[in-house]
Amino acid sequence: MTSRVLPLVLGRIGLAVVTLTIVSFAVFVATALLPGDVAQILLGQSATPEAVAGLRTAMHLDEPALFRFLRWIAGLFTGDFGMSYANNMPVGQLIGARLLNSLKLAGVTALLSVPVALTLGILAAIWRGSLFDRLVTVMTIAVISVPEFMVATSAVLLFAVYLKWLPALSLANEVQSFGQLLKVFAMPVITLSFVISAQMIRMTRAAVVETLSTPYVEMALLKGASPARLVLKHALPNAIGPIANAVALSLSYLLGGVIIVETIFNYPGVAKLMVDAVATRDLPLIQSCAIIFCAGYLVLITIADVISILSNPRLR
């Protein structure tokens, strides 16, 4: 088994590394094409041409793009994300605390949404065609049809404006008790859970339904296997790969949805930091935040691919 699995696993990891390299180049080019002169924006319209030229030289903006890209890539491999243009601070220091806040938000969302989504998806597959299945299908379609900014805005209007149960802003640095923790994470987690759970439910249901329709599961049913044994022993072990992909793809959506959610709720995470950096044309900070999101996405997808390989019964 090792001789067959190991090359596949190493191939997936190598593909992720190559993809991240290509994406890093695309991120650098995209940020370099942003309109406006960074030096002029930082110094203001009243700055003299000499001062602007001096700042451009100090920030290496007058060098060819290829040299700047290679310097940036070399810094990433050594853990040096560069200096922030707007804050004159190391980018790694700026991202550090914000990244922890974003990971907390993503972790709480995953802990809440993944068990609920998997349970609903598996039950809908077991009772496919029933009233429960139809209700779950209608609910997921309705949630998927509503964008996350609409869910977030509706949550603010309902829980913060009308009911006054929760604060409209989620300030993570104000957490001093468990009750405050719930208030800080409640609306961002509800918004993100709505978005990712619907996709996860649909993909999990489809994976389990496909597995339940295979000949070996039908044979176990004819032999008198109970519904619980049919699902737990015969269907789920062979649906782990598709379910892992469903979870990974749904959680990877957190990396995009969190940008809107952190902005709406003013949550101090990496996504909010990236949005602020775009406004000031802080290129090293924008590039580093984008690479973190891309790397997170690739890690999730690669883990799902590895799980799919290891759970493949033909390889076992």
pLDDT band at 96 (very low <50, low <70, confident <90, very high): confident
Domain 95-310 = CATH 1.10.3720.10: yes
pLDDT digits (tens, 9 = 90+) for 213-232: 778 777 777 777 766 677 77
% the chain with pLDDT above 90: 2
Rounded to the nearest integer, the mean pLDDT of the chain is: 80
pLDDT of residue 262: 79
* Nearby residues of 192 by Cβ (< 8 Å), 6 or more positions away: 105, 106, 109, 113, 148, 254, 257, 258, 261
Nearest alpha-carbon partner for 84 in 281, 267, 295, 291:
281
pLDDT band at 144 (very low <50, low <70, confident <90, very high): confident
Return the domain boundaries, the chain.
95-310
